[in-house]
Amino acid sequence: MSAPVKVALVTASSAGLGAACVKALAPHFRVVVNYYSRPEKAAEVIREATTIRSFYDLPAGAPRFLALQADVSDRAGIQQLVSEAVDRMGRLDVVVSNAGWTRVTDFMDLEDQLREEDWDRCYNANVKSHLWLLHAAKPFLEQADGGGSLVVVASLAGVRPSGSSVAYAVSKAAAIHLTKCLALVCGPKVRCNAVSPGLLMTEWGRRFSDAQIQQATDKTALRRLATIEDVADQVKTLALSQSMTGQNVVVDGGVAI
């Protein structure tokens, strides 16, 4: 099937920032919603996104949204996800690589940073998965009108030492540098950018205490945390821009100034 309306794939998009990205992209793209284990949450995201007005005419018989299950920490799962997305939607123009992993530790306790499993899982989910996803999607992104786009979700922790663990911070720094490398390797047909949020009030972010959230807020120049909608809007901007590549945009309320 071939369809003229551009298609975006957002990984880990059944909740949180991924779900917000689906809604931000919905006016401009047909969107593939990837989930791992909660199909009901993916269906809820699609129901909500369906109410958002589109700026395009949907071709007859072409789905506006599609939910696909895949484990994007697994290379074979990523390949299958991309193949099925293209088979079902007809094309692929934008990929938002949003999945990641961490374990909450005492950042300042060196002994708590030595678990090899943490390092392996962080590097696999927060670095290698982006590379695998870009590799699988690249042949289709190169065919996109005006060029394809990869947006990697990194973190403020990759810009300055902070976050849930040292392994997480180091892996997010690696993700940012990977994005810059991919921008060189994949240009001029594919643009590669990253976005680095500060603390977000997602399901994960709400695990922090009120005192910790206030402490994070007090570190911002704007005295407010960025919202998931703020970050999703920046993801949309990077997806649509035809003049930005190799950039990491920090959306944190002004912590990393």
Predicted pLDDT at 212:
85
Is 139 part of a structural domain of the chain?
Answer: yes
Would 256 be classed as within a structural domain? no
- The domain total for the chain is 1
What are the tokens at 183? 């921008």
In a domain, 24, yes or no: yes
Selected catalytic residue, list 35, 56, 123, 168: 168
CA dist 26 and 5 (Å) reads 11
| Mean local confidence (pLDDT), 43-66 | 94
- The model's confidence at residue 206, banded by pLDDT at 50, 70 and 90, is confident
In a domain, 111, yes or no: yes
Residue 206 lies in a domain: yes
Average of pLDDT values for 26-46? 98
CA distance linking residue 87 with residue 9, whole number of Å:
13
Q: Does the residue 65 lie in any domain?
A: yes
Helical (H) or strand (E) element with 7: strand 7-10
Residue with tokens 């399901």: 203
Identify the burial level of 120 via C-beta atoms within 10 angstroms of its C-beta, where 0-12 means exposed, 13-18 middle and 19 or more buried. Answer: exposed
Q: Residue 252 is encoded by which pair of tokens?
A: 């944190």
Write b or e for each residue in 121-154: b if 16 or more Cβ atoms lie within 10 A of its Cβ, otherwise e: bbbbbbbbbbbbbbebbbebbeebeebbbbbbbb
What separation in angstroms does the CA of 140 have from each of 53, 133, 150, 189, 224?
Answer: 26, 12, 12, 10, 39
In percent, the amount of the chain with pLDDT more than 90 equals 89
Domain containing residue 141: 7-251
Average pLDDT in the chain = 95
Separation between Cα atoms, residue 236 and residue 72, nearest integer Å: 21
- pLDDT above 70 coverage of the chain, percent: 99
pLDDT tens track for 159-173: 999 989 999 999 999
Q: Is 1 domain-assigned? A: no
Task: Grade residue 1 by pLDDT with cuts at 50, 70 and 90.
Answer: very low
Is residue 123 among the annotated active site residues? no
Residue 12 in domain: yes
Whichever domain contains 222, its CATH number is 3.40.50.720
